[in-house]
Chains A and B, each alone.
Chain A
Amino acid sequence: MATLHTKSAARAMMSPSVILLFCWMAVPLAMTLYFSFLRYNLLMPGMEEWAGLFNYEFFLTDPAFFSALFNTLILVGSVLVISVGGGLLMALLLDQPVFGQGIVRVLVISPFLIMPTVSALVWKNMMMHPVYGLFAWLAKTVGLDPIDWLSAAPLTSIVMIVSWQWLPFATLILLTALQSLDEDQMEAAEMDGASLWWRFYFIVLPHLGRAITVVILIETIFLLSVFAEILVTTSGGPGYASTNITYLIYTQALLQFDVGGASAGGIVAVILANIVAFFLIRLIGKNLEG
């Protein structure tokens, strides 16, 4: 169904979205790129001068950059593994006949609906507090020494918090996919003598491939820019132990007012994200075609 009328109308109707998004992406990105070559600090207005690659050199040789890069990868990787793995197990469990499945689903999805600042604060104070937190109380009840989670294991703590937020999402998407699995196919495999494990491996897992791809894509988009959880709990510390790239650039821009340095960091973050996106988009494009 396409005539010249509809085609030109289509172009006209698509252009606001495309133009706005393009501006939203291109203009600030160009500015970031420009700033990244300047010595530009908001505390010293009027002192801007061409800095060449200095900002990049500074940012890339800063030891903080490497720990931030490392932390970002650990954070994204661990949360993906925990949420997809745990989500798969949860989905398989919830796919079984369970009394009150509706309520269970409601309970499980809840963490996903909580705003990051709230979940970070609740975990920081009421769960992980070394004296009054529930974890401390639990540890003491079983006779262990309570841990000061956020200073002893800051990155692990943040991984826990973020995983708690994303596990429900993975669970529910995988569950939805599981429930669309053709019962006949499973029964046919059972008739063919396939054991439970083989049925899972050859039928369930391939069926879930698409859903798992979607989970990985969406979670990666959001996990690369985890921010509020860090800001509220550890502020990136101690030292840089729980600083990710996003948070590192934030500190440079809005705490140290170093626009040039932050911009160079921003460009580095964009390049890193592009590398990740390149593979993800290919993966997703292939998987969403079918």
Chain B
Amino acid sequence: MARTVSTRRRLAFTALAWTIALALFFPILWTFLTSFKSEGAAIANPPSFLFFDWTLENYHEVQERSNYFHHMWNSVVISFGSTFLGLLIAVPAAWAMAFSPTKNTKNILMWMLSTKMLPPVGVLVPIYLLFRDWALLDTLAGLVLVLTMVNLPIIVWMLYTYFKEIPGDILEAARMDGASLGQEILYVLTPMAVPGIASTCLLNVILAWNEAFWTLNLTAAKAAPLTAFIASYSSPEGLFWAKLSAASTMAIAPILILGWFSQRQLVRGLTFGAVK
């Protein structure tokens, strides 16, 4: 900002921005607060914001009733597993597209993106039946496989845009220095692309963590991640809002915190590098 802005104007903008931001954030904050209330206080009218008896009881009960850590572990396995598998397949492909482009490269990228446009519901039935026949229903392996495929186009795209920013000269230098293709990727490309790869991983973990179509439809209990764990609280078996809040808080906290620390990379990643 080259120009100075009067303090009064600045304060006005600040007040407005904070009001809107807090309004947007409020449902999350409210969930967080409610998770520490007793069930009675949770539905009290008028609602109390800070002055209630804080309790950790809800967290205990949630863990006991529906085994939070079991589902959390599933979420971790699914999101990190699919990200890792996706990277393994996508890094070579993105290398090829960025550093050895052909006339078809753009078309292949567009085609990959277009597979994301394919509504998952269009292939739900066969995938469900195949998974049933292959005994992959309600297994972590099955979910990892599905989420890898679901997010692969995004991983390839993101890596491609990051790799394209790496000067080809440096890879050629490695080749002149006697590096094989594998060594070139391992010792030169990958370390240079670490920020890009990190932000790709991050976004992918978040997308996989929050993916709710496949995780809900292909799991029952054993492999159910947090999305399904929370959905089980939707059944109208009375108003257990405090417990619901505790469960929600636990389901979103890991990814929320991860996202806060990396929001810049996250946003840049999601635009496929189209917005700097």
A and B touch in the complex (CB under 8 A): yes
> B-contacting residues of A (Cβ < 8 Å)?
1-2, 6-7, 9-11, 13-14, 16-18, 20-21, 24-25, 27-29, 31-32, 35, 90, 93-94, 96-101, 103-127, 132, 134, 137, 141, 164, 167-169, 172-173, 176-177, 180, 183, 187, 210-211, 213-214, 218, 221, 224-225, 227-228, 231-233, 245-246, 249-250, 253-254, 259, 262-263, 265-267, 269-270, 273-274, 276-277, 280-281, 284-285, 287-288
Contact of A253 among B89, B128, B274 (CB under 8 A): B128
Q: Please pick, from A25, A97, A187, A266, the residue contacting B121 in the complex, using a CB distance under 8 A.
A: A266
Establish whether residues A13 and B234, one from each chain, have CB atoms under 8 Å apart when the complex forms. Answer: no
Minimum C-beta distance from A198 to chain B (A): 19
Complex interface bits, B95-117 against A, C-beta within 8 A gives 1, otherwise 0? 11101101000101010111111
Q: Which residues of B contact A122 (CB under 8 A)?
A: 27-28, 30-31, 244-245, 248
Q: Given A1-B172, A2-B100, are A97 and B212 neighbors across the interface (CB < 8 Å)?
A: no
A98, A112, A113, A263: which contacts B10 (Cβ < 8 A)?
A98
Complex: chain B residue closest to A127, CB-CB = B27
**Which residue of chain B has the shortest Cβ distance to A250 in the bound complex?**
B121
Quick one: given A16-B89, A97-B1, are A270 and B122 in contact (CB under 8 Å)? yes
- B24 cross-chain contacts in A, Cβ below 8 A: 107-108, 110-111, 164, 167-168
Closest chain-A Cβ to B150's Cβ sits at a distance in Å of 8
Complex contacts, A114 vs chain B, CB 8 Å: 28, 210, 252, 256
Residue among B22, B123, B181, B245 making CB contact with A107, cutoff 8 Å: B22
Main secondary structure of the interface of A (DSSP, over half): helix
Contacts of B252 in A (CB 8 A): 113-115, 118
CB pair A13–B92 under 8 Å, yes or no, is: yes
Interchain CB contact under 8 A, A211 and B230:
no
Residues on B with beta carbons closer than 8 Å to the beta carbon of A274: 117
Q: How far apart sit A267 and B217, CA to CA, in the bound complex (Å)?
A: 19
Expressed in whole angstroms, the Cα–Cα distance for A281 and B107 within the complex equals 11
CB distance from B159 to the nearest CB of A (A): 10
Chain B, 36-50, contact with A by CB distance < 8 Å: what is the 0/1 string? 000000010111000
Q: Which chain B positions have C-beta within 8 A of A172?
A: 263, 267
A35–B128 Cα distance when bound, in Å, is: 13
A279 vs B67: C-alpha distance in the bound complex, in angstroms?
Answer: 46
| Interface: B251 (CB within 8 A) | yes
B233 engages A176 (CB within 8 Å): no
**Are the CB atoms of B256 and A110 closer together than 8 Å?**
yes
**Dominant SS among interface residues on chain B:** helix
Instruction: Say yes or no: B239 contacts A281, CB within 8 Å.
Output: no
Please give, as numbers and ranges, the residues of chain B lying within 8 Å of A210 by CB-CB distance.
274-275
By beta carbon, the residue of chain A nearest B22 is A107
Whether the Cβ atoms of A109 and B260 lie closer than 8 Å is yes
Is A126 a contact of B217 with CB atoms below 8 Å?
A: no
Smallest beta-carbon distance B200→chain A, Å: 14
Starting from the known contacts A121-B231, A177-B275, 14 additional A-B residue pairs (CB-CB under 8 Å) come to A1-B100, A17-B93, A28-B126, A29-B122, A103-B21, A108-B20, A108-B24, A115-B226, A126-B34, A126-B241, A168-B24, A173-B275, A225-B120, A246-B121
List the B side residues contacting A254 at CB < 8 Å: 124, 128, 217
Q: How far is the CB of A243 from chain B (nearest CB, A)?
A: 12
Q: Are A173 and B267 in contact (CB under 8 A)?
A: yes
With a 10 A CB-CB cut-off, give which of B123, B125, B275 has the most chain A CB atoms: B125
For residue A20, which residues in chain B have a CB less than 8 angstroms away from its CB?
89, 149, 152
Smallest CB gap from B214: residue in A: A227
Residues of chain B within 8 A of A101, CB atoms compared? 17
> Taking each of A100, A112, A122, which has the highest tally of chain B beta carbons within 10 Å of its own beta carbon?
A122
Q: How far is A117 from B247 in the complex, measured between Cα atoms in Å?
A: 11
How long is the Cα–Cα vector from A115 to B47 in the complex, in angstroms?
25
B83 at the interface (CB under 8 A from A): no
Q: How far in angstroms is the closest Cβ of chain B from A259?
A: 5
B21, A107: Cβ atoms closer than 8 Å: yes
Our pick among A17, A228, A249, A285 for the contact of B216 (Cβ within 8 Å) is A228
B5 within 8 A of A: yes
The reply to whether A13 and B118 contact each other, CB–CB distance below 8 Å, is no
